Amino acid sequence: MSLVIAAFYPLAIIWNESRALLPRRLVVGDSWTYKVVFPDSKSYEMTESVREMIDLNGTEVYLLLRDDTQHLSTEYLWITLDWQEIKTFTPNIGNLLANSTTTYTPPVQLFQVPFRVGDQWTVKSAVRTITKVKSTTIDSTALLLELRTTSSREEVSTPLCQFHAFKVTVMKNGTLFEALWFDTELGQVVYGEFYNDHEKVTQTLISYGSSTNTTWAAANGFLPLTAETRLFSRTVAGKLSQVISSWNQPASVTES
């Protein structure tokens, strides 16, 4: 029996590592909460959740809802299973009686799937935004040009747990615009940095939940044990992370 285990154990490791390059398929009920921190240390929490799976002209897409804790900014996003953004809808713009719909032609490839370090792709998309303010409609189109790169795979420590995430950088006009760390096991961004006028805004994952995928969540240790303490297990690595102690612990990134 020990010989059989020894023979198959290396194969299991290889299979898990290759599988980790593909993001987990999201399910309705998945929900992630982030803490967004501005340069002046002001912050708020934002939640992103999978509301529906939709057939859009023969293409299966996620309908995601992005909402902040004060409900001042609500946005719906149509994302394909291979992470192409098709369109967004903002039902309320601030305190104005206004809404806007933005479509991308062709869709924006947010992440290159499967994830591989060194992959680089150019985003060139016509962005059409239709804004309705009371009885007025504003129709505008702009060209989006970006260079996106899966630059590395790094250890990212967040208040939730430690992730082994792919770092994707976004360049505009030769300048770093944002950097996103995507964990393929979770199937979502776990940390992000956004740059504007030499200032940095950070977005850190602080909790994950699922109303329908509780079996997967429990198997991967994402169900809360208490309000302050969560246990997280890594199936690919085959190990348990330690219990976190503080929700206010900042994220840190270490390149592997």
Q: Peptide bond preceding 106: is omega within 30 degrees of 0, i.e. cis?
A: yes
- The domain of 125 spans 2-255
pLDDT of residue 160: 87
Tens-level pLDDT at each residue, the chain (256 residues): 333 323 322 332 223 333 448 999 999 999 999 999 999 988 999 999 999 999 988 999 999 999 986 656 789 999 999 999 999 999 877 666 789 999 999 999 999 999 999 999 999 999 999 999 888 999 999 999 999 999 999 999 999 889 999 999 999 999 999 999 999 999 999 999 999 888 999 999 999 988 655 544 455 554 443 223 233 333 322 332 332 233 344 566 666 5
CA dist 72 and 68 (Å) reads 7
Residue 256 pLDDT: 56
Instruction: Assign 3-class secondary structure to the chain.
Output: CHHHHHHHHHHHHHHHHHHCCCCCCCCCCEEEEEEEECCCCCEEEEEEEEEEEEEECCEEEEEEEEEECCCCEEEEEEEECCCEEEEEEEEEECCECEEEEEEEEEEEECCCCCCCCCCEEEEEEEEEEEEEECCEEEEEEEEEEEEEEEEEEEEEECCCCEEEEEEEEEEECCEEEEEEEEECCCCEEEEEEEEECCEEEEEEEEEEEECCCHHHHHHCCCCCCCCCCCCCEECCCCEECCCCCCCCCCCEEEEC
Ramachandran class of 160: left when φ > 0, alpha when ψ lies in -120 to 50, beta otherwise: alpha
In the prediction, which pLDDT does 75 show?
A: 93
Would you state the pLDDT for residue 70?
63
Q: What pLDDT is recorded for position 124?
A: 98
CA distances from 25 to 22, 55, 83, 213 (A): 9, 16, 11, 11
Q: Residue 16: what pLDDT?
A: 39
Task: Please say whether the beta carbons of 190 and 181 come within 8 A.
Answer: yes
Cis peptide before 91 (omega within 30 of 0): no
* pLDDT at residue 45, as a whole number: 93
Give me the number of domains the chain comprises.
1
Output the pLDDT for position 198.
80
Side chain identity at residue 240, one-letter code: L
**pLDDT at residue number 94:** 65
Domain of 241, CATH number, reads: 2.40.360
